[in-house]
Amino acid sequence: MRVVHGVWIGDALAVWGESDAPAREDGGDGPPPPRPHPFAASPAELRTLPGTGDARTLDLELTLPGDTGAPFPSTASDEEPAAFHPWRVPALRLSPAGADAFLAAVPTALTGPSLVHLAAVRDFAEQLVTSGCVLPDLVGSPPRARWRPAPTDWAEEHLSALTAALPASSRAHMPGESADRAARSCVLAPLELLTDAVARRLAVRPRRRAPEHDEDRATPGRRLAAALTGDHPGVDADTADRLRGPLRDWRSRLRGAGRATLLLVLREPERGGPWTVEFWVRSVSDPGLRLPLEQVWLGEGAAWLPADVGATALSDLARAARHYPRLRRALRDLAPARLMLTTEDAQEFVSGAAPRLTAAGFAVVLPEWSGRRELGLRVTVEEAKPQRRRGKGGVSPSDLVNVSFEALLRGTGADAGAEAADPLSDDELAELAELARLKRSLVRVRGRWLEMDPDRVTAALDLVTRRGGHRMRTDEALRTAIGVAGTAPLPVGDVVADGPLGALLDGGAKAQPRPMGTPTGFEGTLRPYQDRGSAWLRFLGELGLGAVLADDMGLGKTVQLLALLTDERLRDPAPGPTLLVCPVSLVGNWRREAERFAPALRVHVHHGPDRPTGNALARLVGGCDLVVTTYGVVTRDSDELAGMPWHRIVCDEAQALKNHGTRQAVAVRSLPSATRIALTGTPVENNLGELWSIMDFANPGLLGTAAAFEQAVTGEDGPDTGLVRRMTGPFVLRRLKTDRSIIADLPEKMEMRTWCTLTPEQASLYKAVVDEMAERMAEATEKERKGLVLATMSRLKQICNHPAQFLGDGSALAGRSGKLDRLEAILGEAVAEGDKALCFTQYARFGDRLEPYLRSRLGVPVLWLHGGTPRAAREEMTRRFQSMEGPAVFLLSLKAAGTGLNLTAANHVVHVDRWWNPAVENQATDRAFRIGQRRDVQVRKMVCVGTVEERVDEMIERKSALADSAVATGEQWLASLSVEDLREVVRLGPEAVAG
C-alpha cells in the first residue's frame, strides 16, 4: 500500500488507501461513473494497518481529480487535473476512540494530506485535554455525556489555523459544499469527538465506593462522572434535566469571565482639531463595562479587569494593525491611548478600515451618524398642462408632469423631530458640490458631520440645480416619489403634489377619493369600509394605476369589486369588459355572488372543454361586462385571451402569482389591459419577493426588477419594512377583521391548541421511524439527507394521525389513535350542542377513511370535499352544508378547500394535522370566520404532545416574522438543521404516550 487517506463522515473516521496504480491510458473510456477506483487498497490491505482489526467495512463515493479512465495518483502533485469524477472505494470505519488510537499509530510515511490534517486535529484535541481546556456537557436525545473543547483565545486561533489548512482531499466525499459546511464537517466535528475520546482515555475513573456509600452514587454529579469516564456515555433523564442548565451556565461564564478585549472608538474633531481613534478595553462577559486604555496606564481601573489587561490590549492592537496599518504609529508609544487622524484618514477609517476590523472580530464604535443618510430629496410634481381625463378627475400614466427637486438636510433645528428636514441653501449646495468633486465622504454641514456618497451627491445636485425642472411621465414620477431603487440618487424624504396625484402620494389608503356610495343597480348595502375600498379602486383605476386589495379574509373583496363594476356601468360610455382570473374552486362562487349583488352585470364563465374560441369568443367578450375564468385556462389559452379588448384584468387569490417565474404567472402578466387589480388576503406568506411579484402584476415595472427591489429593501438587520410600506403603500389597501374601527359586529375568534397523546402502538411506530432515520442519516450523503428528513417528517406526522394511515393497510381505526379519540370527543361535544364543524386535513387518503368512520360514530351528516371532487359537487356540498338544519361535519382537504369557500354555518374549526405555514391555516379558518358569521368561532389545532408536531410548532412560533402569519420556507428549512437538531426535533418525549 502506497498512501493511506481518511475522511471524517458524521461521527466516525473512514480510512481508505491507494495501492500501486495499474497501467492506464489517458482519456480511456469506461462505464459511466461512479465506478470502482481502479487502484484502491482492498479491505484486507487496510486491515494490516494498526488499530483496524475490528473496524467495519463500508463503501465511499469520492470525487477525485483525473480523467474518465482513472483518478490521478495522489502522489502526482505536478500533474494538472483535467477534471473531477466520482469513484467508489472500499474503506474502514473507525469510531472516535478507534480513530484516536489509529491516528497516533499510523506510520507517517504512509499518510496522505487528509490523514496528516486529522492527526493535527487529534493532537490539538490532546493538547486541549492535557491543558484542562475541556468542559463536560450533555448532548443528544437520549442524553449522552461528552467532553467538549472549552472556548479560549488561543484555542480559537489554533482552530482557525486548522480550518484554513484543510486540504482538498479531506473534502473529497462532499463535493460542491460551502467552506463553512466543510469546516463544520471536517474540522469541528472530528475535534469535538476526538476531544471526548482523548479525555476518556486519559481520565481517572472514580474509585469504587464501599457498599455503605452506594446511595452516593445515585447523585447526578456521580452519575455524570461515571458517564464521562466509563464505556457507556448515556445518562438517565433525571440527571439530564437537573444538570443541563448548570452545565450551560458554567460554559457561558467561562466564555467571558475575567476577560477584557480592545475597543476602538472614533471621535469627531473639536474646534478644528484632529479626528481621533481612542483605545478602550471592555469586559467580554459584560460589554457595558468599558474603560479608556489611558486610565489603565495610569493605574486606574475596576475589579473586573484582569491583571494582564495591558499586555492583552497591546497584543490586540498589534493584531488589529495587520488590518489597519496606521495603528502601528500608536504602537511606537510605551502607553498608546489614541491615534490621531486627518479628515481624509477618518474617511478611509469609516469606509474601509472599520468594516475590515469588524470582520476580523474587533469591536469598533463609530459616530451615531455613520451609515445613516442625512441628505435627502424633496420631490415636487406639477401637471404640465390640463389634460382630458379618461375618468373623472384622474390622470394617465403616460401624461407628462413637471418634476423638480430640492436637497434636504434631515433633523435640523433644535426642536426638529426625527423626520424633520430643511432645504439646503445655494451656498451649502456649492460647498457640497466642491467636496463631492474632491471625493470627500465626510462633510460638515451646519455644524454637523455627515457621511455621504460623493457620486450620489453629485448626481443629486445635478437634479437640484437644473433650471426649469424635469419633464417625466406620470408613472416615472411615481416611481421617483415613492423611492423605487435606481430612480433617485438620494432618499426621497418629502413629496409635494397637487390634485389626484397628490392625494395618491399622501398616504394611499388615507387619501380621500370622492365617495362612491352604493351604486344604482347594486343589490345590497356596502359597509362603510367597503364603500371606501370600492372608491379607492375606482380612484386608482382613473389614474391608470393598478391596485392590490389585500383585505383580511372574509371582509368582502368580492363585494367591493362587484360594486366597482356596477358603478362603471353607469358611465356613458361604459368601459370595456373585465377579465377575472381565479382558482377553479371559486368560479361558482363568483357567478353566484354576481347574480346576487350585481344582477345587471353581463357575466360569462369561460371554462370547460367546450368554451368558445376565435370569433365566437370575441363576439361573446364584446357583449360582456365580466368574464370569469381560471388560472389553468389562462395558462393554456394566453395567446387567444391576449387578443381580447380587456379594460381590466383582476386576479383573485392573487397569491397564485407569488412565484413570478411560473408559467401561470407569466401567462397572466402577458394579458394586456388598461388597468389591473389583485385580490388577496395574504400578500406576504413567506417573503417580500411575493409582494413584489403581486405588485409587478398590478403595476408592471413600477417597483423595478425583483433583484433591484430585494437589494433596496434588504438591510443588515433584515428587511426594511418601513421602506417597503413607503414603496407599496399607495397601491396596497389592507384592513383586518380584528380592527374594530373597520368592523365592529364580527364575533370573536378563539384559537387554542388541543394536546393529544399517542397510544402505545403509535409510540412504538414513532420510535422505530426515528431510529431508522438516525441510522440512515449516519450513512446518507448531503444530497440524500434533505429528502430523508422531509420523508421522515411526513411519516411521523402520519403516525401522529393514526397507525392505519402510516401503515396503509386498511385496518380498523377505533381505539388506536389518541388524536382520533380526541377529535371524536371534540366533534361529539359540538354535535351535542347542535353546532356544525369544519375539519381540515392535508391527507386525502386519511380523509377517505375518516368520513365513514365519523359518520357512523357521530350519527350526523359528514361531507367530504377534496381535490378530486368535481366543481358541481363542490358547489352542491357547500349549498347543502350552509342550508341544512341541525348539526353536521364538513371534512375538507386543506389544499383543495382552504380558500374561496363561504362556510359560515360552522362555528367550530378543527385542524386535524398541522400545515407548517400559518398563513395557509388562517385561510382555511376564514372559511367560517368571515362576514356573515353570527357566532363566536372556536378554532382548535391538534398537536401530539412530546412529538415532532409540538417541537416544530414551537420553532414556527419563533420564526414568524414578516407578516402576521409568515414562515421562511415552509417545511424546507427543516432540512438545513444539524443532525443533533433533527434528533431533538423528532425525538419522542416521555409525555407523548397516554398512561
Please tell me the CATH superfamily of domain 510-733, with its number.
Answer: Tandem AAA-ATPase domain (3.40.50.10810)
Segment 94-111 mean pLDDT: 87
pLDDT at 960 over 50: no
pLDDT digits (tens, 9 = 90+) for 254-266: 554 456 788 999 9
pLDDT digits (tens, 9 = 90+) for 499-543: 666 666 654 444 456 788 889 999 988 988 899 889 889 988 887
Residue 724's closest CA among 490, 506, 377, 963? 963
Rg (C-alpha) for the chain, rounded Å, is: 35
In this prediction, residue 799 carries a pLDDT of: 93
| Angle (CA) 31 169 778, round 5° | 80
Task: Identify which has the larger pLDDT, 984 or 542.
Answer: 542
Share of residues in the chain with pLDDT > 90 (%): 22
Band of pLDDT at residue 390, cut at 50, 70 and 90: very low
Segment 351-367 mean pLDDT: 85
Segment 344-373 mean pLDDT: 83
pTM for the model = 0.50
pLDDT digits (tens, 9 = 90+) for 411-438: 543 333 334 567 777 777 777 777 777 7
In this prediction, residue 691 carries a pLDDT of: 84
Segment 372-378 mean pLDDT: 72
Band of pLDDT at residue 713, cut at 50, 70 and 90: low
Segment 227-247 mean pLDDT: 84
How far is C-alpha 526 from the chain's CA centre? 39
In this prediction, residue 508 carries a pLDDT of: 42
Residue with cell 373585465: 578
pLDDT at 791 over 90: no
Residue 910's closest CA among 838, 985, 853, 958? 838
In this prediction, residue 78 carries a pLDDT of: 42
- Of 374-388, 569-583, 637-651, 974-988, the one with minimum mean pLDDT is 974-988
| Angle (CA) 242 243 245, round 5° | 95
CA distance 545 to 395: 9
Which CA distances in Å does 267 have to 251, 349, 357? Answer: 36, 12, 17
CA distance 467 to 404: 9
In this structure, what C-alpha cell is assigned to residue 829?
A: 361535544
pLDDT digits (tens, 9 = 90+) for 864-877: 998 888 888 888 99
3-state class (DSSP) for residue 467? coil
Average pLDDT in the chain: 79
Class of domain 749-986: alpha beta
Asked whether 678 and 691 are in contact (CB, 8 A), the reply is no
Q: What is the dihedral of CA 580, 583, 589, 592, to 10 degrees?
A: 40
CA distance 466 to 166: 58
Task: Identify which has the larger pLDDT, 7 or 977.
Answer: 7
Band of pLDDT at residue 910, cut at 50, 70 and 90: very high
Residue 206's closest CA among 224, 239, 229? 229
**DSSP H/E element including 818:** helix 818-832
pLDDT at 720 over 80: no
For the chain, what are the domain ranges?
1-94, 112-257, 260-365, 375-506, 510-733, 749-986
Task: Identify which has the larger pLDDT, 568 or 503.
Answer: 568
Share of residues in the chain with pLDDT > 70 (%): 77
In this prediction, residue 528 carries a pLDDT of: 86
Task: Identify which has the larger pLDDT, 919 or 845.
Answer: 845
How far is C-alpha 584 from the chain's CA centre? 30
Is the Cα dihedral 830, 831, 835, 837 positive or negative?
A: positive
3-state class (DSSP) for residue 340? strand
In this structure, what C-alpha cell is assigned to residue 765?
A: 411506530
pLDDT at 372 over 80: no
Q: Is there a shared CATH topology between the 510-733 domain and the 749-986 domain? A: yes
Residue 412's closest CA among 460, 466, 448? 448
pLDDT at 740 over 90: no
3-state class (DSSP) for residue 218? helix
Segment 350-362 mean pLDDT: 85
Asked whether 712 and 488 are in contact (CB, 8 A), the reply is no
Task: Identify which has the larger pLDDT, 66 or 208.
Answer: 66
Band of pLDDT at residue 296, cut at 50, 70 and 90: confident
Most confident of 70-74, 119-123, 957-961: 119-123
Band of pLDDT at residue 80, cut at 50, 70 and 90: very low
CA distance 660 to 693: 5
